[in-house]
């Protein structure tokens, strides 16, 4: 029996009959019929493919879809960086949430394909091992270009415009947990988790020690390290090893959120380094310092630069030479400023990690001058690059270093707090465009911004107090009822009233301060333990602000009951997170809590905390913070004096950074 099938007939055959139909004899078709049927079959294949997709499962709008599809109440195909519907309609596509873990493989494959076509094929590396002087081995593997977010390659330094969606945080979430801090915190945590039933929780406990391994391998073959990669055009074999170490180890060590959010140390810097020799050399130098220094498992808080092999320094010198030559003459355009800012931040970060207490702030000052000379500062920078996620992070990086500086304790923030608040509080730029969690600040940026305002208030009050004290010291021979005496008495009354009102106003803001709701939701998807750790960190920094205000605004001594009550609560929280991967955010809190310790038992405990954290987070500035705390204890043995810790830094000629 013969059957003649065309496209319309075939579409009517059920799937279970296709096998029997395949065994039938077909009547030859004429040329015209064959051409016509070929077109119909092509149409049929497309139609059947669409039908097959449509019958698999119900139409459910995904919580990971873009905001435009959610607004239209349409199912989003969740393609990154632009979904199919947004691409067809030529509109902006904005994702508030990062790509879910289930799609990481396909995303990584896409990134790998793009990276391979951009920088060439990377040769495989035969791993070998050598033993260091400490008995450890150092491991090295090819530079993993698949981990580089290719969205940065597409948007830096010319970025697509980002939709600045903003969400107002609830004023009822996470109120101040004092006086019963511990129980309230967990009640609030449980309440938050219960309000997000769609979240999937996985216990996520990453030890900082696991990020910094104690053994590595150094490839023995001189020609086996990235010999065909683009970075080999800029770096020798040792430089490639250093660059690889920065990508796979240092970027994770410095980042609070590398396991569950974009790591901008890699995404932003490597998207520039791939086509810039200076940035590649600077990153290699940064990785080289850690590779040469941090393979040691010692936890000694003493810094000894003689222990560190200085073989990484030529890479930074090379980078500085290239930058200096490139920008020696002529005005800077916006792309020049972007590249320069990346270089300054890399150089500054490496200096801080080595324990530098002078050069880093000069570099920071250069960044400020570059952005504010014949340019509109950080606001203009964000505008010029359409508020891209890369430029958001660069500005956030500046804000963090600004507030964490001992110079700010003496002179106030270098950049305007008004500009910071415009971007981060008014525009909420870190809550939009799928930025994720900040590498340095996580969910605690709101309280850090408030700390910056508190430090500026301290500078104002201290300047006022110093003028009054200077005038009082000149009144030794003046009679009791003189005009000068009455005038200065009135000045002191006004000062103390203003100090008290400033303290009350800022304290109220500290009490009601809370993390970003959007970033809290992002964290809630990573696991309950991770959310707990970040909430505890937020409370530690909240307590740091309270201690700071008592010590520096109200001039209360460390031994006072007010200070000791907050200190003891803080020590409990610090102990609970000292084994986690978020200790990089603790140096400022360790400093303020350290100088608040007045009893020998508390000081001994704090010393142990410093040593334990330094054993896994071995950066030089943490050792410098310990030096300041130790000197503070020497000058204030009983905790009964009011001493400004910044004066210790100034006497040593230090510009200390607590990052």
The model's pLDDT over 284-343, given as tens digits with 9 standing for 90+, comes to 999 999 988 765 545 566 655 555 568 899 999 999 999 999 998 878 999 999 999 999
The reported pLDDT for the residue numbered 542 is 98
Q: Which is more confident, 190 or 510? A: 510
Share the mean pLDDT of the chain.
Answer: 76
- pLDDT category, 355, cuts 50, 70, 90? very high
Write down the pLDDT at residue 89: 82
Query: At a CB cut-off of 8 Å and minimum separation 6, what does 282 contact?
Result: 315, 316, 319, 343, 346, 347, 350
Looking at residues 633-646, what average pLDDT do you find?
97
Per the CB < 8 A criterion, the answer to whether 308 and 134 are in contact is no
- Dist CA 133 CA 450 (whole Å): 46
Give the distance from CA 305 to its chain's centroid.
28
User: Residue 425 in contact with residue 382, Cβ under 8 Å?
Assistant: no
Give the closest residue to 588 by CA, choosing from 437, 444, 436: 444
**In this predicted structure, what is the pLDDT of residue 81?**
79
Q: Which of the residue ranges 60-74, 120-134, 561-575 has the most confident prediction, judged by mean pLDDT?
A: 561-575
Nearest to 219 by CA among 143, 294, 285, 147: 143
Q: Which residues contact 394 (CB under 8 A, 6 or more apart)?
A: 268, 338, 341, 342, 345, 381
Phi, psi at 3, each rounded to 5°: -125, 140
pLDDT of residue 18: 39
Q: What is the pLDDT of residue 330?
A: 78
Residue 15 has pLDDT above 50, yes or no: no
* Cα-based distances in Å from 424 to 58, 184, 303, 395: 40, 28, 36, 10
d(CA 97, CA 261): 10
The pLDDT tens digits for 485-500 are 888 999 999 999 999 9
Q: Coil, strand, or helix at residue 168?
A: coil
So what's the pLDDT on residue 222? Answer: 33
**pLDDT of amino acid 352:** 96
Question: Count of residues for the chain?
Answer: 659
Candidate ranges 33-47, 87-101, 356-370; pick with highest mean pLDDT: 356-370
Q: Above 90 in pLDDT, residue 459?
A: yes
Residue 377 gets the label, from left (phi > 0), alpha (psi -120 to 50) or beta, of left
The whole-number average pLDDT for the span 28-34 is 43
Rounded-to-integer distance, Cα 152 and Cα 357, Å = 32
For 72-81, 236-245, 328-337, 427-436, which range has the lowest pLDDT when averaged over its residues? 72-81
Least confident of 73-82, 290-299, 448-457: 290-299
Alpha-carbon dihedral sign for residues 390, 394, 396, 400: positive
Given a contact cutoff of 8 angstroms between Cβ atoms, the answer to whether 373 and 420 are in contact is: no
DSSP string, 211-265: HS-S-B-----TT-SSTTSGGGGT--HHHHHHHHHIIIIIHHHH-SSTTTS--HH
Q: What is the pLDDT of residue 629?
A: 98
Which of 325, 237, 242, 335 is CA-nearest to residue 278? 325
Q: Which residue from 256, 229, 254, 253 is spatially nearest to 240, judged by alpha carbons?
A: 229
Is the predicted pLDDT of residue 156 greater than 80, yes or no? no
- Kindly report the pTM of this predicted structure: 0.69
Report pLDDT for 82: 84
pLDDT at position 483: 83
Whether 266 and 144 have beta carbons less than 8 Å apart is answered as: no
334 close to 363: Cβ distance less than 8 angstroms: no
Helix (H, G, I), strand (E, B) or coil at 478: coil
Distances (CA, A) of 504 to 73, 267, 319, 500, 510: 47, 42, 48, 6, 10
Q: What share of the chain is helix, strand, coil (3-state, %, to 5)?
A: 60, 0, 35
Q: How much is the pLDDT for 94?
A: 76
For residue 657, which phi and psi values (nearest 5 degrees)?
A: -115, 130
Distance CA 151, CA 390 (A): 10
Q: Is the pLDDT of residue 80 over 50?
A: yes
Give CA torsion, residues 248, 253, 254, 259, to 10 deg: 80
Q: Round to whole Å and give the CA distance between 325 and 340.
A: 12
d(CA 349, CA 79) in angstroms, rounded, equals 35
Angle at 393 between CA 388 and CA 399, to 5 degrees: 130
Is the model's pLDDT at 88 over the cut of 70?
Answer: yes
Confidence grade of residue 141 (pLDDT, cut at 50, 70, 90) = very low
Q: Which of 563, 623, 613 has its CA nearest to residue 593?
A: 563
Query: What residues contact residue 74 under an 8 Å CB cut-off, 6+ apart?
Result: 61, 85
**Rounded-to-integer distance, Cα 578 and Cα 571, Å:** 10
Q: Is the pLDDT of residue 143 over 60?
A: no
Distance CA 82, CA 154 (A): 13
Q: What is the mean pLDDT of residues 635-658?
A: 96
Using DSSP, state whether 472 is helix, strand or coil.
helix
What separation in angstroms does the CA of 206 have from each of 259, 522, 529, 609?
Answer: 8, 17, 10, 19
pLDDT band at 79 (very low <50, low <70, confident <90, very high): confident
Q: Which residue has the higher pLDDT, 379 or 128?
A: 379
The position carrying tokens 């400490």 is 134
Q: Which of 54-58, 61-65, 151-155, 336-340 has the highest mean pLDDT?
A: 336-340
- Summarised one tens digit per residue, pLDDT across range 589-621 is 999 999 999 999 999 999 999 999 998 898 999
Between 286 and 165, name the one with better pLDDT: 286
Strand boundaries in 124-222, DSSP class E? none
Question: 85: pLDDT confidence band, cut at 50, 70 and 90?
Answer: confident
pLDDT of residue 479: 63
> Per-residue confidence at 30, pLDDT binned at 50, 70, 90?
very low
8-state DSSP, 386:
T
Q: What is the mean pLDDT of residues 131-148?
A: 42
Residue 137 has pLDDT above 70, yes or no: no
User: What is the mean pLDDT of the segment spanning 433-458?
Assistant: 95
Q: Which of 196-200, 334-338, 516-520 has the lowest mean pLDDT?
A: 196-200
Point out the least confidently predicted range of 75-89, 121-135, 268-282, 562-576.
121-135
For the purposes of burial, counting CB atoms within 10 Å of the CB of 26, is it exposed (0-12), middle (13-18) or buried (19 or more)? Answer: exposed
pLDDT band at 455 (very low <50, low <70, confident <90, very high): very high
**What is the distance between the terminal CA atoms of the chain, rounded to a whole angstrom?**
83
Q: Is pLDDT above 90 for 28?
A: no
Predicted pLDDT of residue 1: 45
Q: What is the pLDDT of residue 98?
A: 57
> Is the preceding peptide bond at 179 cis, omega within 30 degrees of 0?
yes
Helix (H) or strand (E) holding 457: helix 445-473
**Predicted local confidence at residue 160, as pLDDT:** 34
Is 240's pLDDT higher than 60?
Answer: yes
């Amino acid at each position: 029996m013969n059957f003649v099938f065309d496209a319309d007939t075939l579409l009517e055959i059920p799937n279970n009959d296709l096998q029997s139909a395949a065994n039938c004899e077909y009547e030859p078709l004429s040329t015209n019929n064959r051409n016509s049927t070929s077109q119909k079959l092509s149409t049929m294949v497309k139609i059947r493919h669409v039908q097959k997709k449509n019958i698999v499962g119900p139409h459910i709008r995904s919580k990971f879809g873009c905001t435009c599809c959610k607004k239209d109440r349409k199912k989003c195909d969740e393609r990154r960086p632009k979904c199919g519907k947004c691409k067809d309609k030529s509109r902006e596509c904005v994702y508030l949430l990062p790509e879910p873990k289930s799609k990481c493989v396909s995303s990584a494959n896409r990134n790998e394909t793009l990276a391979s076509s951009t920088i060439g094929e990377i040769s495989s590396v035969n791993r070998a091992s050598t033993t260091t002087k400490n008995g450890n081995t150092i491991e090295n593997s090819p530079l993993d270009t698949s981990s580089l977010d290719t969205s940065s390659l597409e948007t830096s330094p010319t970025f697509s415009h980002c939709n600045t969606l903003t969400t107002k945080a609830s004023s009822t979430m996470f109120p101040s947990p004092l006086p019963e801090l511990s129980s309230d915190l967990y009640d609030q945590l449980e309440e938050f988790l219960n309000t997000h039933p769609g979240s999937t929780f996985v216990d996520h406990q990453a030890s900082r020690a696991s990020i910094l391994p104690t053994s590595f391998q150094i490839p023995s073959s001189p020609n086996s390290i990235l010999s065909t990669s683009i970075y080999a055009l800029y770096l020798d074999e040792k430089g490639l090893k250093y660059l690889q170490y920065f990508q796979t180890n240092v970027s994770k060590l410095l980042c609070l959120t590398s396991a569950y959010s974009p790591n901008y140390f890699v995404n932003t810097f490597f998207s520039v380094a791939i086509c810039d020799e200076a940035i590649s050399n600077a990153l290699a130098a940064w990785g080289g310092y850690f590779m040469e220094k941090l393979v040691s498992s010692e936890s000694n808080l003493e810094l000894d630069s003689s222990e560190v092999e200085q073989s990484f320094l030529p890479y930074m010198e090379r980078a500085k030479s290239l930058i200096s030559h490139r920008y020696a003459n002529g005005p800077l355009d916006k792309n020049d400023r972007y590249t320069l800012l990346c270089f300054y931040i890399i150089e500054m970060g490496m200096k801080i990690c080595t324990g530098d207490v002078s050069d880093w702030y000069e570099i920071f000052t250069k960044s400020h001058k570059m952005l504010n000379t014949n340019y509109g500062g950080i606001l203009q920078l964000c505008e010029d690059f359409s508020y891209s996620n890369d430029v958001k992070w660069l500005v956030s990086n500046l804000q963090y270093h600004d507030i964490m500086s001992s110079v700010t304790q003496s002179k106030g923030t270098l950049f305007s707090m008004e500009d910071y608040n415009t971007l981060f509080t008014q525009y909420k730029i870190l809550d939009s465009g799928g930025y994720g969690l900040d590498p340095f600040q996580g969910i605690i940026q709101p309280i850090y911004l408030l700390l910056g305002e508190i430090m500026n208030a301290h500078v104002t009050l201290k300047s006022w107090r110093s003028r009054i004290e200077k005038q009082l010291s000149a009144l030794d021979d003046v009679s009791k009822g003189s005009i000068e005496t009455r005038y200065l008495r009135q000045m002191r009354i006004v000062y103390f009233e203003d100090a008290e009102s400033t303290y009350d106003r800022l304290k109220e803001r500290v009490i009601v301060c809370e993390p970003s709701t959007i970033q809290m939701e992002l964290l809630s998807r990573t696991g309950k333990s991770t959310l707990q750790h970040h909430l505890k960190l937020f409370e530690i920094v909240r307590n740091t602000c309270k201690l700071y205000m008592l010590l520096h605004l109200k001039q209360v001594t460390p031994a006072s009951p007010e200070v000791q009550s907050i200190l003891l609560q803080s020590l409990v929280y610090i102990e609970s997170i000292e084994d986690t991967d978020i200790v990089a955010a603790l140096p400022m809190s360790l400093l303020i809590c350290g100088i608040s310790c007045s009893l020998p038992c508390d000081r001994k405990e704090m010393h142990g905390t410093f040593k334990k954290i330094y054993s896994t987070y071995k950066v030089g500035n943490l050792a410098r913070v310990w030096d300041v705390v130790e000197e503070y204890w020497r000058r204030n043995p009983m905790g009964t004096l009011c001493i400004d810790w910044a004066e210790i830094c100034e006497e040593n000629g230090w510009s200390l950074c607590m990052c």
